Structure 1
Amino acid sequence: MSRLLNELSASDAARRLQRRELSAQALLRDCLARIAARESEVRAFVCLDAEAALAQARALDAGPIRGPLHGLPLAVKDIFDTHDLPTEMGSTIFAGHRPRVDAAAVALCREAGALVIGKTVTTELANMTAGVTRNPFKPAHSPGGSSSGSAAAVADFMVPLALGTQTAGSIIRPAACCGVVGIKPSFGRVPRAGVKPNADSMDTVGGFGRTVADAALLASVLSGDARLRTQAPPETLRIGLVQGPDWNQAEDDVIACWERAVRALAPQAARCEDAPLPPGFADVATVQATIQAAETAQALAFEHRHHGAQLSEALVALLDKGRAVDAETLLAHRARAERWRGEIDALFERCDVLLAPSAVDEAPEGLQFTGDPIFCRPWSLLGLPCVHLPFATGSTGLPVGLQLVGRHGDDHRLLAAAQWCMDRLG
């Protein structure tokens, strides 16, 4: 057993909670103690309500088992509505904003027994301007974004699980920076009601855990699909290798991580070979970024028009760029994306999963830049499920890993494959 309860994985803690071998109060108190000791340095949280969480823990301990997340502390990215905590979205525009109801994803987690203990730092309106969160491994480095606080809180043993969102790379990249497992489900598998929109065709709710089983546990509740946490790893795997059209941007630590993974996985896989990409796929990052800019300009039209002075210069520039995308260009880009979805889907006739880079390097130094999402843009555009696998360390001691990408709707098989890979990479 771990020396401290907050160091338990979510799946291990869940088993003990279900058997009443562990109380929700005991687990929560160790998590709160960790937050008290480390929050001044990591700065993962916007707000906490320890007393309310303790009251909920006492009620859970006194009552029946609520569900798969019974008694597990959960942190929530501050773009999810919460009826009992402010939702300020990393922007002064929403200072003091108090929703009356929970976002659907939050409600599902509470219904399954989770204890929402606080809201975590997001970049400004889940875009590029960084918040105050620091990397738990090296506070002078970024935790990634936009789900900055959620990834950092899980990595630093403050909570076992946290909710995040991804439009370009906002789950996978911070998971890579902080060395945790990030799960971005298939687009449309998790309800987005009550989550601040960014780009309607790509926004996806997911989250973070410290193991694949943890991520599967959370995703199973969010999606309502128990297969995500019950499917056993396959005996072997067909792996398609996709460095992608922007591989030249990968730094030495990521290249070394890639080579290590191929050496470890190829001898045990049924197939491990390069997967051919569709014609024109070299433009995928530009297509994704253009669609995202246009849709973000639509989603934040009110903020742009009525509160422009409270937006960062970078966000205003993005919104102006998005407004400049004409309808013909946007429709053409969406048509290309739809064609690529069909062409990439055909790859899964030969491959069970695709192995791809998650980030260009270790977490960047400095807190103003959360990292380039270029390796995540293709999969967010196509709506495919992704899991970040943390298994290596870079030259400066920060985490490095890769992501697995699955067929749309095959999230359960992707998570089973992720466990197969981690069993051979760890």
Structure 2
Amino acid sequence: MLSARETAGRIAAGETTAAIELARSAALIDELEPKIRAFASRPGELAAGTGPLAGIACGVKDIIDTADLPTRMGSPIYERWRPRADASIVMALKAAGATVAGKTHTTAFAFLDPAPTRNPHDLTASPGGSSAGSAAAVAAGMIPLAVGTQTGGSVIRPAAYCGAAAIKPSYALLPTVGVKAFSWSLDTLGLMAASADDLSFALAAIIGRAELDASAANLKGLRIGLHRQGFAGAPEPASELALQHFRKLATEADATLVELADEAALAEAFHAHGPLQDYEAKHALAWEYAEHRDLLPPKLRAYLDTAKAATAESYDEARRVSREGRRAAHTAFREVDVVVSYAAPGEAPDTLESTGDSRFNRLWTLLGVPCVTVPLIRGPRGLPVSIQIIAGFGHDESVIAVAKGLEKLVAPVG
């Protein structure tokens, strides 16, 4: 995979230029795109910007508005749609010097109907979703950076399946203005890169917060909670092996590990994700459903057929339960430095008809807390298997630092 920090460092040292690095990414996309199918559209040429991310080619998920490229949202409904303005995140990328290398494939409206993208490690396996193209483009080594969105697990899960690093920051740390909404209480922008170190470099540059480019944490002395999320169901053996491998690494690094119980308030919050999303999705996609229902793909169409029955009462109750969950999480995170859990149920599904399951991501998305995933092992089918590291709301620098510390203890997997 291409490293954003290393690329920027070589440019700063005069060993290469932004133009050369962008041309390199363009050539790699030309070479690999026919089999990976990560991109929905691309510009005619990649022009270098100025700033800390100059020379960094970035993929932008195709539900995010761009003025100079179509925003099709994975749907024929928007086949000819060209926004008049860039989304806020695109403007922030450009202000930091990054260059949009293209719009990356998304599942239709960021739901469950698969995108055409392939997993770089096994072209017959799922790349996950909904940010399929973003994860695959980074993991395949086409580009050093990509933007995705997460409403359930759509940043962390595809990154885990494809073997990339990813961050879902604290809710609203990255602006969602100009991003097609699915559930405005849950939708969160995230980044994918070759490593947690690249994520911290890029995130700090994009939003101008140097403190997010934290030094790698020494795991010695950290109090780390292990959360198996029993309320979300059992993982596949591969994900449990990854968590056990993390336990071994952390123990050898003299961290203190604490098994966390399934607190009732967090279990209830997990189950509130569905009704909260249902009510907001039926409103966010009301026009598409009313005017173009027959053009919606089957899984989304069936979902909206059901979601239209969501009531204001169920929504209010889901919001109440969510608030209780956030209060419980605030208390729980006082007891540990970070929490570690499964990033996905297991290896990527062995079918392109599935985007996988977000059940180990939904709670943390609902709570709005920062999560970073890094690959740890290869599973029985030879595909990457990751864990996710979670911190309390607003402690993005902590979760990044621990992820970077963990990366120093493991051999590259992606």
- Structure-1-length-normalised TM-score: 0.93
How far residue 200 of structure 1 moved from its aligned partner, in angstroms, is: 0.6
Please identify, of 299-308 and 235-244, the stretch whose mean Cα deviation from structure 2 is larger. 235-244
Of 392, 395, 410, the residue aligned with 2:377 is: 392
Of 345, 349, 354, the residue aligned with 1:360 is: 345
Aligned counterpart, 1:215: 199
Alignment of 1:77-156 (within 5 A): 77-156=61-140
In 1, are the aligned partners of 2:269 and 2:325 still within 8 Å (CA)?
A: no
Q: How many residues align?
A: 410
State how far apart, in whole Å, the 1-side matches of 2:333 and 2:198 are: 26
In 1, are the aligned partners of 2:374 and 2:387 still within 8 Å (CA)?
A: yes
In 2, are the aligned partners of 1:9 and 1:160 still within 8 Å (CA)?
A: yes
Of 31, 37, 62, the residue aligned with 1:43 is: 37
Which amino acid in 2 is paired with 1:27?
Answer: E
Of 14, 29, 32, the residue aligned with 2:26 is: 32
How far residue 280 of structure 1 moved from its aligned partner, in angstroms, is: 4.5
Which amino acid in 2 is paired with 1:42?
Answer: I
Please identify, of 307-316 and 80-89, the stretch whose mean Cα deviation from structure 2 is larger. 307-316
Tell me, yes or no, if structure 1 residue 282 matches structure 2 residue 267.
yes
How far residue 370 of structure 1 moved from its aligned partner, in angstroms, is: 0.4
State how far apart, in whole Å, the 2-side matches of 1:186 and 1:375 are: 17
Query: Which runs of 5 or more residues in structure 1 are unaligned?
Result: 1-6, 61-65
Note the alpha carbon deviations across 1:278-319, whole angstroms, 9 max, x for none. Answer: 224334443112211211111111111111111122212222
In 2, are the aligned partners of 1:294 and 1:319 still within 8 Å (CA)?
A: no
Note the alpha carbon deviations across 1:240-286, whole angstroms, 9 max, x for none. Answer: 11011246431111111111110111232442111234224334443
How far residue 34 of structure 1 moved from its aligned partner, in angstroms, is: 1.5
RMSD: 1.5
State how far apart, in whole Å, the 2-side matches of 1:425 and 1:160 are: 20
Please identify, of 211-220 and 112-121, the stretch whose mean Cα deviation from structure 2 is larger. 211-220
How far residue 235 of structure 1 moved from its aligned partner, in angstroms, is: 5.8
Aligned counterpart, 1:68: 52
The secondary structure found in structure 1 opposite 2:7 is helix
Tell me, yes or no, if structure 1 residue 225 matches structure 2 residue 209.
yes
Note the alpha carbon deviations across 1:365-397, whole angstroms, 9 max, x for none. Answer: 111110000000100111111001112100010
In 2, are the aligned partners of 1:78 and 1:88 still within 8 Å (CA)?
A: yes
Identity of aligned residues (%): 38
- Structure-2-length-normalised TM-score: 0.96
The secondary structure found in structure 2 opposite 1:250 is coil
Aligned counterpart, 2:16: 22
The secondary structure found in structure 2 opposite 1:135 is coil
Which amino acid in 2 is paired with 1:224?
Answer: G
Aligned counterpart, 1:3: none
State how far apart, in whole Å, the 1-side matches of 2:22 and 2:174 are: 27
Aligned counterpart, 1:255: 240
In 1, are the aligned partners of 2:214 and 2:400 still within 8 Å (CA)?
A: no
- Superposed structure 1 runs of 4+ greater than 6 Å apart: none
Which amino acid in 2 is paired with 1:407?
Answer: G
Of 377, 402, 413, the residue aligned with 2:398 is: 413
In 1, are the aligned partners of 2:131 and 2:154 still within 8 Å (CA)?
A: yes
Which amino acid in 2 is paired with 1:160?
Answer: P
State how far apart, in whole Å, the 2-side matches of 1:289 and 1:413 are: 29
State how far apart, in whole Å, the 2-side matches of 1:277 and 1:200 are: 27
